[in-house]
């Protein structure tokens, strides 16, 4: 029996298909000045939406398989070696000869909020339907499938096809406005989505200013087939709707050092809650707790994230 079939027979908890890259994050000491050099701090760490979600789930004690692509270069070597040290399973991932690994470069203001970012993600185009068809066994055995929109549209369609046949819930991280636009017309095929306000406006093609308008927008997406929607509201927390229950959960107070990676931790929390069959509101609380722990670290992933710390953070909600 092949190595892949052996892995698939374990009935994996989560399969994550998406980006893994190197994050280069700069944070200014004071309000940023443009067209000149700014004193600050620079951190280099592993990132990528899919990889970040897998890393957070690992810290929460969840077994997962990350399917991604890296170039055969120094950054790819760094991603593979450090993921192995962490304990992340990348055995089903692709190493692209002659390819350039993903790089995410961001500049944060003194408050930890993003000023501008650049992403180099061409390598993920190699996660083609043909490649993913070889991973059907591991995908269909997942309790939860997580997809980020860094991968090609046709690959996402294949994953949804596999999921429908095997009744797997698919969680979507929209990643950005540009990437969200790419899957707008098939949004109803996802079980759970986590857009921010701007992405929600794009998905429903209308301006949103109030909580009531958020509710109406989520109902539009629910009518298309989405089962659960969680709208990230930044410092204001999150709004949730599953067709039966809806509401806003306020954000946790936190000393913000770096907001990069908070959304990925949030989605990992939603997945974690799903595995334990929590209600949607409970899952949102868990997600916000994961995000709060993350923003208090300068790193994209907080090494303080674990079930005990998460339980302590969310106990009052």
| pLDDT above 70: residue 9 | no
Chain segment 216-239, per-residue pLDDT in tens: 999 999 999 999 999 999 889 999
Domains of the chain: 3-312 (3.40.1190.20)
Judge contact between 173 and 49, C-beta under 8 A: yes
Q: What is the pTM of this model?
A: 0.89
| pLDDT above 70: residue 51 | yes
Q: Pseudo-torsion of CA 299, 72, 158, 14, nearest 10°?
A: -40
Chain segment 73-115, per-residue pLDDT in tens: 999 999 999 999 999 999 999 999 999 999 989 999 998 888 9
Residue from 58, 86, 83 nearest 70 by CA: 83
Chain segment 174-191, per-residue pLDDT in tens: 888 888 999 999 999 999
What is the pLDDT, as a whole number, of residue 316? 61
What is the pLDDT, as a whole number, of residue 179? 87
Q: Would strands 64-67 and 69-71 be described as parallel, antiparallel, or unpaired?
A: unpaired
What is the pLDDT, as a whole number, of residue 196? 94
């Amino acid at each position: 029996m092949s190595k892949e079939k052996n892995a698939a027979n374990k009935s994996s908890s989560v399969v994550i298909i998406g980006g893994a890259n190197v994050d280069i994050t700069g944070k200014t000491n004071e309000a940023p000045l443009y067209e000149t050099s700014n004193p600050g701090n620079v951190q280099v760490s592993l990132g990528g939406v899919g990889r970040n979600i897998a890393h957070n789930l690992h810290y929460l004690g969840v077994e997962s398989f990350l399917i991604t692509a890296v170039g055969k270069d120094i950054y790819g070597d760094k991603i593979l070696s450090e993921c192995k040290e962490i304990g992340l399973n990348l055995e089903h991932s692709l190493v692209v000869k002659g390819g350039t690994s993903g790089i995410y470069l961001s500049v944060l203001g003194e408050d930890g909020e993003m000023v501008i970012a650049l992403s180099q993600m061409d390598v993920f185009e190699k996660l083609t339907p043909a490649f993913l068809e070889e991973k059907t066994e591991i995908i269909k055995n997942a309790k939860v499938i997580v997809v980020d929109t860094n991968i090609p549209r046709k690959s996402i369609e294949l994953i949804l096809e596999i999921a429908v046949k095997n009744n797997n819930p698919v969680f979507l991280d929209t990643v950005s406005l540009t990437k969200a636009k790419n899957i707008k017309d098939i949004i109803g095929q996802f079980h759970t989505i986590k857009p921010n306000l701007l992405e929600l406006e794009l998905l429903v093609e209308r301006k949103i200013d109030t909580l009531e308008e958020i509710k109406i927008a989520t109902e539009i997406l629910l009518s298309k087939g989405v089962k659960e929607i969680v709208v990230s509201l930044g410092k204001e927390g999150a709004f949730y709707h599953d067709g039966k229950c809806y509401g806003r959960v306020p954000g946790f107070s936190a000393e913000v050092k770096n907001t990069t990676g908070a959304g990925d931790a949030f989605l990992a929390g939603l997945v974690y809650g799903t595995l334990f069959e929590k209600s949607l509101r409970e899952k949102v609380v868990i997600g916000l707790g994961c995000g709060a722990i993350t923003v208090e670290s300068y790193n994209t992933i907080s090494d303080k994230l674990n079930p005990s710390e998460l339980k302590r953070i969310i106990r009052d909600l």
